[in-house]
Amino acid sequence: KQEVTQIPAALSVPEGENLVLNCSFTDSAIYNLQWFRQDPGKGLTSLLLIQSSQREQTSGRLNASLDKSSGRSTLYIAASQPGDSATYLCAVRGNSNYQLIWGAGTKLIIKP
């Protein structure tokens, strides 16, 4: 059974710092992995989707990497801004099932 873990559960850093959020999964037979952002009281916004054949995806200041063999993905945020404050969730889709298995999220606070 696939399990997705995100560490740390919460992170607070000063504005301007580069930071890394971690996501690990137990079953490497994945179809893709997605990173989402959730603002308080809001829905989820898809940030990046990495197919199983890809190693990384980039969008603006965000870069997500995928290492299937080790069951890990990282979300790198460059030059963090207060507007990046949110909860970041990763979700994995397996090869045999359309369902997304979700991590519990990392709550990120960027201090001005």
* Per-residue mark of binding to another protein, 53-92 (x: CB under 8 A): ------------------------------------x-x-
3-state SS record for 9-44: CEEEEECCCCEEEEEEECCCCEEEEEEEEECCCCCE
90-109 positions binding another protein, by CB under 8 A: 91, 93, 98-100, 102, 104-105
Q: Are 48 and 57 in contact (CB under 8 A)?
A: yes
Q: Is 42 in the site for another protein (CB under 8 A)?
A: yes
Region of 16 on the Ramachandran plot (φ > 0 left; ψ -120 to 50 alpha; else beta): left
Q: Which residues bind another protein (CB under 8 A)?
A: 31-32, 34, 36, 41-46, 49, 89, 91, 93, 98-100, 102, 104-105
